[in-house]
Structure 1
Amino acid sequence: MTKLAANLVRSCLRITPDDNVTIFFYPHTQALTEEIAEECFK
């Protein structure tokens, strides 16, 4: 799932260090959401 989060943040959404990110999630997607949040801070 880490590779999916990295691909989403870097390639699809192209989030940069200057961006502000808000993540909304459902309880059943919490694991993926945490991976995405971690990737945003890299």
Structure 2
Amino acid sequence: MSLLSVLLINKDAVMGYRYLRYLFIRKRATIGDKLARWNMQ
């Protein structure tokens, strides 16, 4: 494997990790929002 391919794979891994973390944070925020609305009723 060349250094360039290793860098590209690592870049993809980092982007995938950031995307998953973003989805997780957004999902947790929407669940918290629903719980907050439910508690206010």
TM-score (norm 1): 0.34
Flag the structure with higher helix content.
2
Higher gyration radius (CA): 2
TM-score (norm 2): 0.35
